[in-house]
Structure 1
Amino acid sequence: MTTLAPFRTTLIHPLPSAPTAAAKRLLLASPYSTASATLARPCSIIAPAATIRYRQNNSSSSSLQHGQQRSFSLLGFTTTSKIPKAVQSTTILETLHSTHPLPMRDEFMGTKRLTTKDLEAIPIDLTSHREPAGVSDWIAYQVVKSLRLPVDLFFRKKYIHRVVALETVAAVPGMVAGLLRHLRSLRRCSHDGGWISHLLHEAENERMHLLTWMKVAQPTFIERALVTAVQGTFFNVFFLLYIISDRTAHRVVGYLEEQAVISYTHMIEEIDNGVLKDGPAPQIAIDYWHLEHNATIRDVCLAMRIDENLHMETNHHLSDRIALKQEDLRVDIEKMQKEHGMVPNQNAEKVWTKGDKY
């Protein structure tokens, strides 16, 4: 009998200075704004697997910024040179801040920068493996195993180049699945059950993995061409697979992430054994995972392995839900929120439980 682990949620307490202070500066700086400068204090934020939503009097910081941009457009300000300097600097800086990617796990969003010991203390099961439970699972497992062999033969001990290729492919499934479920939600005029935001966040997380390794590795032209070809092929194959059987597609991703955990474990072992040279972590990784400023490549591998473990467990869980026809995540998430006292007033997930149809 298949059992379902509770779908992970994230509880975030925003810093007192964000985004209330930022929004206040934005409103006060603009002579054209008709919005009130009085904002409510941000409440706690709940979202599936770290989809972030700030709420102030039922308005998000993003919507406030978009409102400012619309006011400039209506007044004929088409270039930044025509915007008053005080407004220009505030608008641009706050908009850039709001688009900064956020990590998947709340351990990486604290106020304390993480050390190597902190990363090693985050619990993950390195021996976790989902045994195939049927024909669909067996096909997914065999497909992933068949993909491992050519990758091993081509890259061999070139671990950095291997993970560049791996992360290029790994960023595809979340985007494809999110796109197809978005279109399905539009066709049916019904809520997606909380999947889309998580899937797109997963794709963004994998993209940040790739951007990090691109700062470390310098792939050759042949390797870049191979990655491009593999990505294009995988996108189309996964697109068709998700249309035919989304359950199998998520199972494939779950097994791919199992291989990713194994690959990063091997990299860490090679660094510890002196086979692979360690070095300073790129600044993009330090900022994204909130690592110490003297963090190393080994620390980056630890952080990425934690992410891949989460993707593995989540995609296996989503595949199980499809098999059991329990695709609406909102019921279980709301139940967990209530059990832990994590439900704020006017929470987005709370609103959507009023009905399946808009």
Structure 2
Amino acid sequence: MLRTSLIHLVLAQRNAALRIVGASIVGASRPRRALMSTTSTSTPPPKSAAPSASPGVDQLIASTSQLKKPDAVSTVPTMVRGDWVLFHPVYTPEEMRAVQVLHKDAKTISDKLAYGLVKFARYGFDVVSRYKHKEIPPASPMTVEELRKEGYLLDEKGWLNRILFLETIAGVPGMVAATLRHLTSLRLMRRDSGWIHTCLEEAENERMHLMTFMTLRDSSIWFRALILGAQGVFYNMFFLAYIISPRACHRFVGYLEEEAVLTYTRCIADLEAGKIPEWTDKPAPEIAIDYWRLPADAKLLDVIYAVRSDESTHRFVNHSFANLEVATDVNPFALREPDMHVKGGKIAFERSESENYVRESHAIMRQKKENSDA
């Protein structure tokens, strides 16, 4: 199976290169297609044209089809905004800047084990990605290039590699949890109390982070092979762990999201300080503008703020889940979620707070029904 997957990676990498070559053959001066558009701006070749000798050109022509959309873009018309995804929060600028770097103390044995595994995984990832968060000497005269050479800063490629790898892993836990809870609901023939949807929303949200950053840079075959191996190991390990202890797994994800918030906070700080000059005025990808309802003139910095807010949401939700009885308690976020002023500045709801939050949600629902009936 691994051999087959690697063969597919090689073919995909070759076809990607052929599409680039094909683009220059078909017409280098053609306007670039809008990411969210399903209407081709190119003129199809005459039917009498000779068949292309390059499969890359054929794929390029086929990609203008309404059905064939290989890129990380939407397949719906531009007038439809966001209806192609599950629910996810949309933040105000004030909410995006309300996120704080927080940590939940590990008190129980399972919490300490979960936190230790996250720190171990982070250490290994830092070694592989050659990431070191070294404090820059005060009033340092070194340029950005010199700071990068000395290992004080990551360059654009380094940040993208780190983010892409992080998001390919972060999208696994929600899908595993949703799958197992779905199967449990079927097997026991009882309702799930709202957990499945929230877990699926989390998985898709992390996947959309990946789709967004994939518009900035394609990955090499070796990077894709690394992701293939890491995902295969992590998925199966998390699957088995969730069967044994769902609570510990949600705590693990909460700690994992703490690290994600920290990573994006450092990225934002570097970007705002001019230490990633390639991204200073880079426009936000259209897929991100559509997904997070960003202004049309949004920058990549706004996207990273939105992604960090999402990670803060996952941090809060999973730590709150770990405080519940995962087999019997209702998902307190099934009807609504707190805004980012709560999720960004508070690590989690304790079980009693979740119960009060559910009670408040029910009261709001009853009030809305009474108002609509009046």
Smaller-chain TM-score bracket = 0.5 to 0.7
Alignment-derived partner of residue 257 in structure 1: 257
Specify every segment of 5 or more residues in structure 1 that has no aligned partner in the other structure, as ranges: 1-91, 108-117, 347-358
Query: Does the CA-based 8 Å contact 1:334-1:343 persist in structure 2?
Result: no
Query: Does the CA-based 8 Å contact 2:82-2:291 persist in structure 1?
Result: no
TM superposition shift of 1:97: 7.5
Deviations 1:158-197, CA, capped at 9 Å, x for gaps? 1111110000001100100000000101111111111001
Alignment-derived partner of residue 340 in structure 1: 364
Query: Does the CA-based 8 Å contact 2:101-2:262 persist in structure 1?
Result: no
Measure the CA separation in 2 of the matches of 1:227 and 1:252.
20
Measure the CA separation in 1 of the matches of 2:102 and 2:82.
36
Alignment-derived partner of residue 307 in structure 1: 310
Say yes or no: does 1:287 pair with 2:290: yes
Query: Does the CA-based 8 Å contact 1:140-1:251 persist in structure 2?
Result: yes
Per the alignment, in what secondary structure is the counterpart of residue 322 of structure 1?
coil
Measure the CA separation in 2 of the matches of 1:342 and 1:275.
51
Moved more, 333-342 or 227-236: 333-342
Query: Does the CA-based 8 Å contact 1:182-1:192 persist in structure 2?
Result: yes
Alignment-derived partner of residue 329 in structure 2: 327
Per the alignment, in what secondary structure is the counterpart of residue 215 of structure 2?
helix
2:273 aligned partner, one-letter code: N
Alignment-derived partner of residue 128 in structure 2: 154
Query: Does the CA-based 8 Å contact 1:124-1:309 persist in structure 2?
Result: no
RMSD of Structure 2 on Structure 1 (CA) = 2.5
TM superposition shift of 1:153: 1.9
Deviations 1:263-320, CA, capped at 9 Å, x for gaps? 1011111111222121111110010001111111111110000000000010010011
1:337 aligned partner, one-letter code: S
Q: Percent identity?
A: 39
Per the alignment, in what secondary structure is the counterpart of residue 284 of structure 2?
coil
Classify 1:105/1:98 alpha carbon distance in 2 versus 1 (closer, same or farther; 3 Å): closer
Measure the CA separation in 1 of the matches of 2:296 and 2:99.
27
Per the alignment, in what secondary structure is the counterpart of residue 175 of structure 2?
helix
Measure the CA separation in 2 of the matches of 1:342 and 1:292.
35
1:267 aligned partner, one-letter code: C
Q: Which aligned pairs between 1:1-358 and structure 2 lie closer than 5 A?
A: 100-102=84-86, 104-107=88-91, 118-122=92-96, 124-155=98-129, 156=131, 157=154, 158-276=158-276, 277-278=278-279, 279-322=282-325, 327-329=329-331, 335-341=359-365
2:322 aligned partner, one-letter code: S
Measure the CA separation in 2 of the matches of 1:144 and 1:344.
42
Query: Does the CA-based 8 Å contact 1:285-1:300 persist in structure 2?
Result: yes
1:100 aligned partner, one-letter code: W
Measure the CA separation in 1 of the matches of 2:330 and 2:367.
18
Deviations 1:4-23, CA, capped at 9 Å, x for gaps? xxxxxxxxxxxxxxxxxxxx
Measure the CA separation in 1 of the matches of 2:83 and 2:274.
38
Aligned length, in residue pairs: 243
Alignment-derived partner of residue 346 in structure 2: none
Measure the CA separation in 2 of the matches of 1:341 and 1:262.
36
Query: Does the CA-based 8 Å contact 2:81-2:291 persist in structure 1?
Result: no
2:363 aligned partner, one-letter code: E
Per the alignment, in what secondary structure is the counterpart of residue 138 of structure 1?
helix
Measure the CA separation in 2 of the matches of 1:333 and 1:265.
29
Classify 1:285/1:245 alpha carbon distance in 2 versus 1 (closer, same or farther; 3 Å): same
TM superposition shift of 1:202: 0.7
Moved more, 291-300 or 272-281: 272-281
Measure the CA separation in 1 of the matches of 2:90 and 2:359.
20
Classify 1:168/1:272 alpha carbon distance in 2 versus 1 (closer, same or farther; 3 Å): same
2:85 aligned partner, one-letter code: P
Measure the CA separation in 2 of the matches of 1:239 and 1:139.
17
TM superposition shift of 1:227: 1.1
Deviations 1:74-116, CA, capped at 9 Å, x for gaps? xxxxxxxxxxxxxxxxxx97xx888611452153xxxxxxxxx
Query: Does the CA-based 8 Å contact 2:90-2:293 persist in structure 1?
Result: no
Measure the CA separation in 2 of the matches of 1:343 and 1:218.
50
